[in-house]
Amino acid sequence: MSENVTLLDPTAETSPAMRERLAPPESLEGRVIGVLDIGKVRGDVFCDEISKLLGEKGFTVKQYAKPTNTRTAPTDLAQTIATECDVVVEALSD
């Protein structure tokens, strides 16, 4: 019984791209902070609280949510966040 087995990579990238890490800004003053809910249970609670606390400190905050936690963020959502925000807080889990 010598069947060929094909294993598939479940990630979206066909070839990994090495990206240089950006240096964090020296200050958040005057910056737009994006808060991204990745769709995990209670991630919205975390994101709402972080957004509230940042807003109380006078920061401009924009909230976003992925449609599902089982896939990467849609390209249009990622481009919107990159265009509208200077920094991003992403709710992660697991």
Which pLDDT tens digits describe the chain residue by residue (94 residues)?
567 776 666 666 666 667 788 888 999 999 999 999 999 988 899 999 999 999 999 999 999 999 988 888 999 999 999 999 999 999 876 6
The answer to whether the beta carbons of residues 40 and 24 sit under 8 Å apart is no
- Phi/psi of residue 43, each to 5°? -60, -35
Instruction: Spell out the domain ranges in the chain.
Output: 32-91
Gyration radius of the chain's alpha carbons: 17
CA-CA-CA-CA torsion sign (47, 52, 55, 56) = negative
Residue 37 pLDDT:
95
- Phi/psi of residue 33, each to 5°? -105, 120
Residue 16 pLDDT:
62
